[in-house]
Structure 1
C-alpha cells in the first residue's frame, strides 16, 4: 500500500514577552508548525524570563521548578506528536489548527463558547421588538467581540470548548477587560454579566457539568450620580445654544428632568401617549420599556412647551428628536 507523504511537523515553546505578569513571570506558549502553517496556544505555564533558555526553548537549570515545567512541556510535545502520528495512520489530513484543537479537546463535535454566544445573539436579533430591544442586542454583540479579542490575546484561539471554561478563565477575562480594554470596574462587570448569561445557559442545557461562575462574584461599585440644583437647571434652560444638535440634546435632557422618564422611554414617546384625562389635564401615558409597567405623568408647562416646539416636525408621530446614545467599539 502506498504510504502518505509526511508533512513537516514541529513543536516549539517560547515566552509571550508582551504579557508580563505582576509577579515578573511571562506565559509559556506552544507553537505547532506543519508545513508553512503555524498556530499557537497557551500552555498555562509561566516562568521568570531570566530562567528561560531561548536557545533550548525550555527552562534552564535542574531545580525543582525547572524540572516540573520542563516535564510538562515534554508531555505536551509527546502528546502532540502522538496525535499527529495517529491521525496520519488513519489517513487523515493533519493541519496545525486541527492538531491544536484535537490536543485542547474541542474538536468539531464539541460545543464551543463563541458558537453558543453567536446562536444566543442571533436569536436575540430575531426577537427585537418582541421581547428585546436593539440596544440590548448590540450590547451582547459587543460582549461577544470582547470575548473573541480575549481568546486571541490570551490563548491565540479563535474559539474555546465550553468544557475548558473555569474560574481562572473568568478572572483572566476580567483582568483583560480592566487592563487591555481600559474599562472601569462597573463596565467590566457588565461585560462579565453578559458572559455569565451565556455560560449559565450552557450549564442549564447540560452542555457543561459545572458552572465556573459558581464561585465568582461580580462586584459593582456604588455610583453617586449627583443631582442638579434648581439654579443649575435654570441656567441650562436659559443658555442660548446655536448648534441645533446640542439644542435638541438639551431639550431632551430637560424634558427627562421634569417628567422623570428615562432616556429610552422618552425616545419611544409618540403623540398618542400625550392624552387629556377625565380631569381635563394633559398627561403622558406610557409604559416603562424595562419593566413594561404603566406610568402616567402630569404634563407640566416646561415639558409641554418642549413638545410644542417639535410638534409636526418629526416622523412617525415622535414627540422629541431623541438621538442614539449607543457607543459600540
Structure 2
C-alpha cells in the first residue's frame, strides 16, 4: 500500500515578529495524520498567496523564497520515495517526520555545515586550534547568519543555492551594512570560501561555487608603533592610578619581548629557559601560527618579569597579571592622551614597536626579526614592515653618501 502524502504551506499570523512578519510553516500529512514545522522563513502577511501557497511578486526575494519552498517540497518527496522503497508495507507520518528532521547529506545547508565545523573547532581548542581562531570563525558564522537573514529573509540556505551572486552580494553587505574595511572583508569571505571548499571535499558540492570571486584590493597599511622618544616618555612617567601603571608594565613587556596578547597571557616560568649563550630566553609556541618562538629576554622585559614573578609560584602558572585585551586597549587610550602621544595605541602596537623600533631600527636582519616574531614565513614580515625597512634603507643610504663625500674631500 502506497501512503498518501500531502504537503501544505501556510503562515502563522499570530506568531508575527516586531516587524510584522509572519513565519511560513509547512504541514506534511501521511494518510490524514500530519506534522507541522517552521520553514525558518518569515514574510509580511500581505505578500503571501494562500491559494497558490507562495509569495506574491517576481522580485529577487520572492523568487528566492518560492524556490526554497519548492526545494523543501522536493526534499520531502524524495524522503517519502526512499521510505516507500525501503518499506513496501507503507510508512507513517512519524517515519517521514523523523527522516525529515534528520536530513540527508545532499540536502545539507550552508549554515548547518559552518556550525558543524565551528563545533569541531571548539572541541579542538588548545590541540589543533587557538581560542582566538575559534572566536574569529564564530564571528564569520554570525556575519553569515545575519547576511542570509538580511538578503534572503531565511534562517539558512541550501548548499545547492550557493553561487557567485551570493558571495558578491555578501561582499557588498559587509562593506555597506557592516562597515568593514576591505582587509576585514577579505578575511571574512576567506573563511566562507574555505567552508565551500570543505563541502566539495565532503562530496556535498560538485565544485566550489565561489571560484570566480576575486578578493578586494588592499593598499599598504601604515603601522602604528612607538618611537624611541615615546618609549622613553612612557618608561619615565609614573601614573598615580595603579590600573594605568599596571597596563604600562604589560605594554612595555611586549614592547621588549614582542609577545602578542595571547602569548603574554600564557607566559609561565616554565617558558623561561637558559640558552646556549648562558642568557635567559623565552621558549614557547605562538598560538596563531603554531610556530615555535625563542626570544632572548632583554633587560627591561626581564625586569618586569622579576617584578611580578616569584620562585614559590608554580612553573605552569601565568606570570603576568593580565586583564582583558579590551580593558588594556581602553586604558592605553588614556595613557596616550596623558603623554600627548597622538596615536591609537592598542596592545598589538607593542608587538609592532618591538619589531620596528627595537629590532629593525637597530639593524637586526629581517630574517631574525621574522624568527623572533614567530611569523609563518619571512614574506609575512617583509609585507608587514616594508615601510620601516624602506626607512632603514634610506638611513643606510644617507650614511653611504656621507662616507663617499668624506672620502672625496
- TM-score w.r.t. length of structure 2: 0.55
For the pair 1:196 / 2:193, whether they are aligned, the reply is: yes
Per-residue deviation at 1:198? 1.1
For the pair 1:121 / 2:118, whether they are aligned, the reply is: yes
- Post-superposition CA distance 1:114-166 (Å, at most 9, x none): 11111101111111111111121111122111111111111111111111101
Between Structure 1 and Structure 2, the one with more helix by share is: 2
**Partner residue, 2:278:** 280
Q: Which moved more, 1:152-161 or 1:314-323?
A: 314-323
Q: Partners of 1:292 and 1:266 in 2: how far apart?
A: 15
**Partner residue, 1:226:** 224
Partner residue of 1:142 out of 139, 144, 147: 139
C-alpha contact 2:40 2:156 (8 A) present in aligned 1 = no
**Partner residue, 1:22:** none
C-alpha contact 1:314 1:321 (8 A) present in aligned 2 = no
**Partner residue, 2:266:** 268
Q: Partners of 1:325 and 1:303 in 2: how far apart?
A: 19
Q: Partners of 1:7 and 1:279 in 2: how far apart?
A: 77
Q: Partners of 1:153 and 1:145 in 2: how far apart?
A: 12
- Post-superposition CA distance 1:231-284 (Å, at most 9, x none): 011112222224444333322221122123333332221111222334332222
Q: Partners of 1:302 and 1:230 in 2: how far apart?
A: 14
* CA RMSD, 1 decimal: 4.7
Q: Partners of 1:191 and 1:79 in 2: how far apart?
A: 31
**Partner residue, 2:292:** 294
**Partner residue, 1:180:** 177
C-alpha contact 2:281 2:294 (8 A) present in aligned 1 = yes
**Partner residue, 2:161:** 164
Q: Partners of 2:275 and 2:224 in 1: how far apart?
A: 34
Q: Which runs of 5+ in 2 are unaligned?
A: 12-20, 28-36, 50-54, 79-83, 85-90, 328-409
For the pair 1:212 / 2:242, whether they are aligned, the reply is: no
- TM-score w.r.t. length of structure 1: 0.67
**Partner residue, 1:104:** none
Q: Partners of 1:119 and 1:113 in 2: how far apart?
A: 10
Q: Partners of 1:79 and 1:267 in 2: how far apart?
A: 52
Per-residue deviation at 1:174? 1.5
Q: Which runs of 5+ in 1 are unaligned?
A: 12-28, 43-53, 60-65, 102-106
Secondary structure of 2:288's aligned partner: coil
Secondary structure of 1:295's aligned partner: strand
C-alpha contact 2:133 2:288 (8 A) present in aligned 1 = no
Q: Partners of 1:255 and 1:289 in 2: how far apart?
A: 18
Per-residue deviation at 1:305? 1.2
Instruction: State the number of aligned residues.
Output: 283
